[in-house]
């Protein structure tokens, strides 16, 4: 039980990576606030956690709005008495080059993906200080490490999340608050499953991950769990890549194949 007696908030907790992480945090002994714009789905996740012996509540939040995030943190502290872990995970994507992307979509993605992390820190850190410290985890992406085309604002927003993570960690590590990011590769969550119905996109993504498959939400939940727990007590300001070998792989794949042709 890596999170015994810890109180955690998971934004975007109704689906995908956030849902898997909410379930995993609860299995590890945490009380979990499942926070999402989609309250009905968040309530289903929280009810399932409670039915399986865990402790969870669902709260509606818009992570881009200051009042909403402030109310979320207040509700968590009122419900469970303290706050130890904030997983700023909710995010969104709008495709487009700079020529294609609408200005409103630029603003939306920057608000949901980046302003949310600023707001999550702004309101969670005082509650964590009152609890004696804590761990903030931000969901970035390998798109924040590359110049992926076709989704310029997503790539820019996730790069911003990584450097905001570093800056927040510099400011608050000495107060006992660690701030880290996780950078997933392509993970089979509902929006990605829809994108992978295109066979060309699926093949490109399978080839990009050296492991030869897409990631599972539970595999990002494992990384978030480690960052949330005291097992990572000397880790702060890092962006942990969980990408099935995507970044390690050269676009060439193998330079040479040492195996004789008849054995391949």
Ligand X SMILES: NC(=O)c1ccc[n+]([C@@H]2O[C@H](COP(=O)([O-])OP(=O)(O)OC[C@H]3O[C@@H](n4cnc5c(N)ncnc54)[C@H](O)[C@@H]3O)[C@@H](O)[C@H]2O)c1
**Shortest separation between residue 164's beta carbon and ligand X, angstroms:** 13
CA atoms within 13 A on the CB side of 91: 29
Residues near ligand X (CB under 6 A) are 11-12, 14-18, 36-38, 61-64, 89-92, 112, 139, 141, 184, 186-187, 189-192
Judged by beta carbon, residue 48 or residue 129, the one nearer ligand X is: 48
**Shortest separation between residue 247's beta carbon and ligand X, angstroms:** 13
Which token pair is 126?
A: 């005082």
The answer to whether residues 24 and 225 touch, using CB atoms and an 8 Å cutoff, is yes
Catalytic member of 154, 205, 220, 244: 154
Judged by beta carbon, residue 77 or residue 114, the one nearer ligand X is: 114
**Shortest separation between residue 81's beta carbon and ligand X, angstroms:** 24
Judged by beta carbon, residue 112 or residue 225, the one nearer ligand X is: 112
**Shortest separation between residue 262's beta carbon and ligand X, angstroms:** 38
**Shortest separation between residue 168's beta carbon and ligand X, angstroms:** 17
Q: DSSP labels for the chain?
A: -TTTT-EEEEETTTSHHHHHHHHHHHHTT-EEEEEES-HHHHHHHHHHHHHTT-EEEEEE--TT-HHHHHHHHHHHHHHHS---EEEE-------B-TTT--HHHHHHHHIIIIIHHHHHHHHHHHHHHHTT-EEEEEE--GGGTS--SSBHHHHHHHHHHHHHHHHHHHHHGGGTEEEEEEEE-SB--HHHHHHTTSHHHHHHHHHHSTTSS-B-HHHHHHHHHHHHSGGGTT--S-EEEESTTTTTS-TT--S---S-GGG-
Judged by beta carbon, residue 104 or residue 259, the one nearer ligand X is: 104
| Nearest C-alpha neighbor of 186 from the set 199, 163, 165, 205 | 205
Judged by beta carbon, residue 112 or residue 164, the one nearer ligand X is: 112
Which token pair is 129?
A: 């200080």
To the query of whether residue 118 is one of the catalytic residues in this protein, the response is no
Q: Point out the residues that are catalytic.
A: 154
């Amino acid at each position: 039980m890596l999170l015994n007696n810890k109180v955690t908030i998971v934004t975007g907790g109704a689906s995908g990576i956030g849902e898997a992480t909410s379930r995993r945090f609860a299995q590890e002994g945490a009380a979990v606030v499942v926070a999402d714009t989609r309250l009905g789905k968040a309530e289903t996740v929280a009810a399932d956690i409670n039915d399986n012996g865990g402790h969870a509540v669902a709260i509606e939040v818009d992570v881009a709005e200051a009042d909403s995030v402030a109310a979320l943190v207040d509700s968590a502290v009122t419900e469970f008495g303290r706050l130890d872990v904030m997983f700023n995970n909710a995010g969104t994507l709008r495709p487009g080059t700079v020529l294609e992307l609408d200005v409103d979509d630029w603003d939306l993605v920057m608000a949901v993906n980046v302003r949310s992390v600023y707001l999550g820190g702004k309101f969670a850190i005082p509650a964590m200080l009152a609890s004696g410290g804590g761990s903030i985890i931000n969901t970035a992406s390998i798109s924040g490490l590359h110049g992926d085309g076709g989704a310029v604002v997503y790539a820019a927003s996730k790069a911003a999340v990584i450097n905001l993570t570093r800056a927040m960690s510099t400011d608050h590590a000495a107060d006992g608050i660690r701030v880290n990011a996780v950078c997933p590769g392509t993970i089979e969550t509902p929006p990605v499953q829809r994108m992978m119905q295109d066979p060309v996109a699926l093949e490109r993504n399978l080839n990009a991950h050296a492991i030869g498959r897409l990631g599972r939400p539970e595999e990002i939940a494992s990384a978030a769990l480690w960052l949330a727990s005291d097992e990572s007590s000397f880790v702060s300001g890092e962006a942990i890549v969980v990408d099935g070998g995507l970044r390690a792989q050269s676009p060439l794949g193998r330079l040479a194949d040492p195996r004789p042709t008849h054995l391949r």
